[in-house]
Chain A
């Protein structure tokens, strides 16, 4: 795994210890597997909470080190030129900071949320189109989300990552291509083959709980 440190930390500034610790643990684990363990995904949720609550730049630097290089790779595969992929990855991460308070860990994990931001930016830049978004639910993210809901959603999302890693290579490639925006409509007729039922029931429970709280 590459760890790319922001220049600000290379030049003169000390690398924050939290980032350093992450670097060490990544090095010990070797190349990370696609299906991440629990602690990794919930760790990203914690970093998001630090950004939400105290505009923590160290937490942001950590998210950046992890996600920006993946975004760049994702965007290159989506047909962006290297400079465009670099720009969209930076813009996506800037939006992550800007919209941090809209992140709702009962509805998405951090990878999912960042994916949606990058996808929209990609459509905006590559296709020069607006992407109509559904109306937001009549409530924002809960002030203090139910931790059981957060954990359950993170776990379900990780199972999805593991299921993707376990797909036969050809099928996994087809799913990935779809998300790179690299499939014609007819090809998408193929089922993803991923078990979406359990994550849907998780999301449904969280939604019902939120609705209940509203009334």
Chain B
């Protein structure tokens, strides 16, 4: 997979340090599952976290802390983990973090139409931000919309083009308030994206704006 558009250092730091809402964490974790370069960058940011931990002063633990920890271990009553649960992603398979939220793969997504052939499926996360799967028919446009906050869009299948560039599988676009764009799905296959927003999108045409409260766009 040739990934051209990666996560910003700022997002990677926020992911590593635990400063992102769950919805954004999901997009970041899904991209990292597909992208070695960002996996490496995330590991580097984690290493900074390790250095911060190492530089911490010490606060005395309760006197029986070790005994209690041993009890936690024996209470779990599970043998030491031996191997990792690895699920390889195939064509119609989602990366593991996304699978966990969808409860399956592409074929298991429960789509709802939001008009103009575009479908969405909102995934359940904490309320600070929203994350959804979007399915845009090949050759169609997503209504022109501006942003109040930050929108993070990851392409899972197909591709879209907007004023800034072309985004193919694995690519992420970080859109902020300045970007008022109209992504168009390329001809070929439907474009499927995972998109997180920390504020409701603001559609520029009247009808989708009215529909907004209904569809939680």
**Which positions in A face B, CB cutoff 8 Å?**
1-2, 4-10, 34, 36, 55, 61, 64, 67-74, 76-77, 85-86, 89-91, 93-94, 97-102, 107-116, 118-120, 122-123, 127-140, 156-157, 160-161, 164-165, 175-176, 178-181, 183, 185, 188-189, 191-192, 194, 196, 199-200, 203-204, 207
Contacts and interface: CB of A to CB of B under 8 A. Distances in A.
A198 B41 CA distance: 11
B17 interface: yes
B70 A8 contact: yes
Nearest to A69: B58
B39 A134 contact: yes
A7 B51 contact: no
Interface string B116-138: 00000000011000000000000
Given A98-B80, A135-B95, A165 B55 contact: yes
Interface stretch (B59-67, B103-111, B166-174): B59-67
- Looking at chain B's contact residues, the main secondary structure is helix
Contacts of B59: 69, 72-73, 76, 85
B63 A188 contact: no
A39 to B, nearest CB: 15
B50 A115 contact: yes
A136 B84 contact: yes
Contact of B65 (A70, A86, A102, A181): A86
B44 A199 contact: yes
B15 to A, nearest CB: 9
B67 A101 contact: no
A118 B46 CA distance: 12
Given A36-B54, A138-B88, A132 B26 contact: yes
B51 A157 contact: yes
A138 to B, nearest CB: 6
Contacts of B54: 34, 36, 70, 111, 161
A108 B40 CA distance: 11
- Looking at chain A's contact residues, the main secondary structure is helix
B47 interface: yes
B77 to A, nearest CB: 11
B206 interface: no
B9 interface: yes
B61 A132 contact: no
Contacts of B163: none
B69 A93 contact: yes
A98 B50 contact: no
Interface stretch (B28-36, B184-192, B207-215): B28-36
Contacts of A179: 17-18, 48-49, 52-53
A61 B66 contact: yes
A98 B83 CA distance: 11
B1 interface: no
Given A98-B76, A111-B53, A136 B97 contact: no
B95 to A, nearest CB: 5
Contact of B14 (A68, A135, A161, A188): A188
B151 interface: no
